[in-house]
Structure 1
Amino acid sequence: MSRIFITGSADGLGYAAAENLLADGHEVVAHVRSPQRLEAVKPLIDQGAQVVVGDLAHLNATQDVAAQVNKLGQMDAVIHNAGVYSGPSVVPVNVVAPYVLTSLIAKPARLIYLSSGMHLNGQPRLEGVDWSGARESATYSDSKLFITTLTMALARYWPDILCNAVDPGWVPTKMGGANAPGDLRLGHLTQEWLAVSDDSEARTSGGYWHHQKRRTPHAAARDEAFQNALLESLARTTGITLPLP
């Protein structure tokens, strides 16, 4: 049995992953944006889930989420699922929050980050990006390129931890829309598998996955100079330095 923390668990892929992992006998720590969203995860709580609360669009709240998680004890895996598609919060929620949580939560054995096939359209440019979210400065595609790059950097710097990125596909969630053509079940299966499976492939690191198959990410995601520049920019902006060897 593993203990898994899942960000953005009030609905969509995060909720579905939490529900499945609980059903399989694992411990789950769910996450909601505000106390008003606790009702949405009541079925998870009734199945034994614990919950932390905080708005990942704000740095101080994200730091508090990390403190809440650490207070609950060691996690075996963290699924960085929370995300937004548009607006000024795209960068803080999709990139800054995973970076901060990764830096501050006691290291788990496995880290999974939600990417997207749209990251292939992202621009590997950091100039002008407003990490605070005070203004809209990067696209969803850019944000997913950044988080995929962070994943590959972590896999390089932390060889003792399994770090992987997942493209869940375009699936019918609140973000994807009711008419999305993808398979909802397959949309959360890979991150669950990477979080708990003992399959040999699930115990590898540095992968970009789609439906349990490795895919080739944007070349910039594996560019060590771009990885380092991203880490330096995030550290400078947040005042939080990722613990690296």
Structure 2
Amino acid sequence: MPRIFITGSVEGLGRNAAEDLIADGHELVLHARNDRRADALDDLAAKGAHVVVGDLARLDEVRAVADGVNRLGRMDAVIHNAGVEHGASLLPVNVVAPYMLTALIEPPARLVYISSGMHRGGQPDLTDVDWSGARRTHSYSDSKLLVTALALFIARTWPDVFTNAVDPGWVPTRMGGAAANDDLRLGHVTQAWLAASNASEAHVTGRYWFHQAQQQPAPATQDEAFQEELVDTLARYTGVTLH
């Protein structure tokens, strides 16, 4: 069975995906921001899941998470699920961490990046970007446009890896809030399916999904020049280069 790593798997969509995948017999590597939050994964650890700990807003801890994952052996799939909606860690968690983990973890057979329908309101502008989060330079919508562009860059440049982006919908998780009107039960299904399914429909790359249906992402995310600019900028900031 596939071995799958899920970032941000303590609660919400990451936790829901983990529960379904472990129930199907998959070997999981889960992630928590710190040891206290990792305690919430004890029940899944008792079922065989491994847990790695690290704050994805900190470059040194992102490296430590990647090292911990690599020590467990090659993953079959990685779901880049962790995300925040606002605050100083917006760009570090939503964009920098997925980039670094992609570069530092041994490439799996499948990569899934969690986007949002709100990416269509984002701006493809890296002017004065502050990746550290010390200054608020970009919005949540911007961050999701950037991570979607990253996913499509990986799909284009790593043709042997099935790489896709997923809009889980506006669902009533802690981040989505009580006003969210999409179906929480469907919010994690597509990413779990793309990570583990043997169906030929899931063996594709460079696609943008919503509830297991392909959609067109914002045109800027498919702009190869913008993708290259994004990746080059992230490489300079992190000192980590995609191979």
Bin of the TM-score, shorter chain as denominator length: over 0.9
Alignment of 1:209-224 (within 5 A): 209-224=209-224
Number of residue pairs aligned between Structure 1 and Structure 2: 243
Amino acid at match of 2:91: V
Alignment of 1:160-199 (within 5 A): 160-199=160-199
Is it true that 1:44 corresponds to 2:44 in the alignment? yes
Alignment of 1:1-245 (within 5 A): 1-243=1-243
**Contact 1:88–1:137 under 8 Å retained in 2:** no
Shift of 1:48: 1.2
Amino acid at match of 1:68: G
Shift of 1:40: 1.0
2:29 counterpart SS class = strand
1:28 counterpart SS class = strand
| Structure 1: 5+ residue stretches without partners | none
Amino acid at match of 1:116: S
Provide the aligned C-alpha RMSD in A. 0.6
C-alpha distance in 2 between matches for 1:133 and 1:69:
25
Shift of 1:128: 1.1
Amino acid at match of 1:220: A
**Contact 1:114–1:167 under 8 Å retained in 2:** yes
C-alpha distance in 2 between matches for 1:183 and 1:27:
27
Amino acid at match of 2:210: H
Shift of 1:179: 3.0
Amino acid at match of 1:147: V
**Contact 1:62–1:100 under 8 Å retained in 2:** yes
1:4 counterpart SS class = strand
Amino acid at match of 2:63: Q
Shift of 1:39: 1.5
**Contact 1:109–1:161 under 8 Å retained in 2:** yes
- Structure 1 runs of 4+ with >6 Å offset: none
Normalising by structure 1, what TM-score?
Answer: 0.98
| Structure 2: 5+ residue stretches without partners | none
Identity of aligned residues (%): 62
C-alpha distance in 2 between matches for 1:13 and 1:43:
17
Deviation digits for residues 173-213 of structure 1, max 9, x if unmatched? 00011231111121000000000111112000000000000
1:15 counterpart SS class = helix
Deviation digits for residues 73-131 of structure 1, max 9, x if unmatched? 11000000000000121100000000000000000000000000000000000011101
Shift of 1:235: 0.3
C-alpha distance in 2 between matches for 1:164 and 1:118:
17
Shift of 1:142: 0.2
Amino acid at match of 2:5: F
1:176 counterpart SS class = coil
C-alpha distance in 2 between matches for 1:230 and 1:60:
21
